[in-house]
A and B are shown apart, each in its own frame.
Chain A
């Protein structure tokens, strides 16, 4: 019985039922057309539904340049994407197989190849040059016009900020000097270190350039300040740096229309969640108020997801007043 079956199967050599026929080609071709429309709809829907989750306007000077370059790049890739996806899927639809149809033997065309090599070359050359100018502007950190020097100190799983104090110069530091309250290992004998100020909330004056010197105590971390379009890794054993000029105070950002809408939306979500939490007899969520954030953006251990520090941008006078209230390192170590 089994043998007979095998014999029969080996005899029907050419079963072509798993190869597409015209009917399949027709269905699949139409689906291809539907698919490109799906991609477009998904794209439009995403912008409609989630367009408001994107970061607000840049709160730093150089960030405006990044956003501009971002916009231009986005326009280019959307134009290219929309056209090429259309051609790809439309051809798949239009030339879907039919018994009566003949394919055209079309093996190459130097002119076409040249055109679509040279167009990307030109467009990319533009983008590269624009990008490199933007990059060099951001990364060439000069110390003219008296920038504020701030150390960002990362450790599992928190941040500290150290200001240069009166002399705006950071004292030397090394992890080998960590002891007791001297958590950052600052060299207590360094005269520059005496007036250093260490805090766990980053205050920045609006309109003044800040140079960040990043250090890490243990593993790689990354100081990510999305609203300022700023990020730099903190690497144990070396000091990395990044610089920007904040241009929008926390208060101004809170008053911006787009931020008000966003905060309102977030608080609506939180209110809804609170109803569920209340029903379960659990603790209520606080209502949210916008603040700039410094996040860790390099995997650094189990609590990586909650390694953050608040950033407050304020007017120069407010900043100076706040700074006056802080204890200097010398005072802290004396206690």
Chain B
């Protein structure tokens, strides 16, 4: 393996000297350089994020002040908010597209796409992805699917509005809801393209990690970021095709008269011909992706957080092998727990028992990870940079959100809170907010790597973190209460139930926190854009990190390293390692030993 990698390195070294003439188009648009592609992913993801978060503010306003006219509704929603009062159909469209955009476009492509692309080649010591061309195609398919999704907002009957899970028959029948017309068709087309993009990306990541590691970079020396991206890509390859099959069958049911998911339906005054299909089948297929999907979202965040936390604690990550093992365990279990979304779907209750069992098992590796992160902080010398704050915030929300998973994963308890706001609070904390924290942590940490050593403003970063951290709990902690009160999600308003009148003020509190939190993201956006052009230039290795990307020259070159690719002699977590006689650090006066530094004379060799 390593011989092969070396041959490859030498091979590349020979030809890296001649630089292709790059035009604006090959450099910024149809780029095959993983560093540029990662920036493309990030910026597209952030753009979609702005849309997704803005939508959530709109429907939160409707929930807090039901049917209150707001000029902004009329401005943004046009005919769906005549006189400024939001229409029920657009409310459903907003929650549907908010979910779709945040889960797929922001947290899958924006998070995993950005950092897998940026870090895999740089941290394993490769000149680029295994296939730069496929990588480029992957991004452009993602871009195309984003365009189609955004375009679907403007069709006459409105975008898809059957919820982001698009359960048929609602999503299959335009008679049932207007959004299931052209809007839904575009949703399906967009998702099909998105899946193709994701698969191309994932295959590339897997091949790159397996084949292009530099000499000395054994699997057990990989930074946890790479482990996380690698395993995420595998889950993606295993589960995304199943969603594609579900999408294809849904397309056929909608357009070609098949009955995969439809049976015995009487709607709009007539009986449909469909017979024998089952919506439960769709639920199985959807969640076979849908559940691994939340780990596709959270694992990269976990990887980023592990790396950032070790670096800024100036300590090795605690229990590296256990961390890798729990990533693998989570990945494996993630593919056999999908049924916990379906306890009350009408499937056999025995299956419910099985899925309860597997689901609660997943708490074990998750708990191990949380304990290991906490222990990594213990007796560290914590550099509380914005990236580190977001990493600590990640562990906090992951714990809070994860713990309520123990309740929801228990089929007996799920009965009464299924599809209530308790679920909404749970998954927003554990995968939404946590993964966003991972994304922010990654952006603050690797911003200098992406933008020629420019650094983001730390004080704006502090403001961003603290307002977001307080706001996120302010939104989602009270939300558990309205869920436990029995309030169903996806209700346009609750005024038809006097029983829920006492929840009105909780909803106002939640919305106010949501608006504040969203406003804090503007601070981030300003900081991001401003620093891109005017950020102060920091040192080459600003966080004194061990990983290989910081040995690459500041100026981006195609091929990553000017000279030969550095070889690796140790794992990436030799922070604050002492020499044999414990008189000083291994390298005197420097509390870190980068991966490309050979074993020192006075150093004890450990397992890595």
Q: Which residues in A have some Cβ–Cβ distance to B below 8 Å?
A: 9-10, 12-20, 24-25, 27-29, 31-32, 35, 38-39, 42-43, 46, 50, 52-55, 63, 65-66, 69-70, 73-74, 76-77, 80-81, 84-85, 87-89, 91-92, 95-98, 101-109, 112-113, 116-117, 120-121, 124, 127-128, 131-132, 134-136, 138-140, 155-156, 174-176, 178, 185, 214, 217-220, 222, 224, 226-227, 229-233, 235-238, 240, 262, 265-266, 269-270, 285-286, 288, 290-291, 293, 295-306, 308
Contact = CB atoms under 8 A, between A and B. Distances in A.
Contact of B271 (A178, A226, A237): A178
A119 to B, nearest CB: 8
A38 B506 CA distance: 18
Given A229-B416, A265-B502, A237 B458 contact: no
A64 B387 CA distance: 46
Contacts of B346: 214, 232-233, 235, 238, 240
A76 B576 contact: no
Nearest to B87: A302
B378 interface: yes
B427 interface: no
B415 interface: yes
B88 A92 contact: no
A296 to B, nearest CB: 8
The CB with the most chain B CB atoms within 10 A, among A97, A98, A222, is that of A97
A238 B346 CA distance: 9
B537 interface: yes
Interface stretch (B106-114, B198-206, B219-227, B309-317): B309-317
Contacts of B356: 128, 131-132, 135
Nearest to A134: B412
Q: How large is the interface on B (under 10, 10 to 19, 20 to 34, 35 or more residues)?
A: 35 or more
A121 B365 CA distance: 10
Given A120-B363, A237-B263, A297-B420, A131 B410 contact: yes
B600 interface: no
B521 interface: no
Given A85-B400, A106-B318, A18 B458 contact: yes
A112 to B, nearest CB: 7
Given A70-B407, A92-B382, A19 B419 contact: no
Contacts of B378: 91, 95, 106
26 contacts: A12-B537, A15-B536, A18-B536, A25-B382, A25-B383, A50-B481, A53-B485, A81-B400, A85-B399, A95-B378, A97-B381, A98-B381, A104-B576, A105-B575, A105-B578, A106-B375, A127-B410, A132-B353, A220-B279, A224-B488, A238-B263, A266-B501, A297-B419, A297-B488, A299-B92, A299-B163
A131 B537 contact: no
A135 B538 contact: no
Contacts of B576: 102-105
A253 B158 CA distance: 44
A77 B379 contact: no
B321 interface: yes
B368 A113 contact: yes
A19 B385 contact: yes
Contacts of A29: 382, 384
Given A87-B374, A139-B352, A218-B176, A175 B265 contact: yes
A19 B384 CA distance: 9
A125 to B, nearest CB: 9
B473 A39 contact: yes
Given A237-B277, A298-B419, A19 B413 contact: no
Given A38-B470, A102-B591, A131-B412, A305 B494 contact: yes
Interface string B491-520: 111101111011110100000000000000
Contacts of B258: none
B572 to A, nearest CB: 12
User: Which 9 residue pairs of A and B lie closest in terms of their CB atoms, listed nearest first?
Assistant: A237-B263, A226-B486, A139-B349, A28-B384, A240-B346, A18-B455, A305-B491, A175-B266, A134-B412
Given A84-B371, A95-B379, A128-B356, 20 more contacts: A20-B385, A66-B412, A66-B413, A84-B374, A92-B382, A95-B378, A95-B382, A103-B379, A107-B316, A113-B322, A131-B413, A175-B266, A217-B265, A218-B176, A220-B279, A230-B416, A233-B344, A237-B277, A302-B492, A308-B496
A180 B373 CA distance: 65
Contacts of B466: 31, 35
A117 B384 contact: no
Contact of A19 (B265, B469, B542): B542
A116 B365 CA distance: 10
Given A102-B591, A116-B367, A302-B88, A107 B384 contact: no
The CB with the most chain A CB atoms within 10 A, among B170, B469, B543, is that of B170
B384 A230 contact: no
Contacts of B396: 39, 85, 88-89
B277 to A, nearest CB: 7
Contacts of B458: 18-20, 24
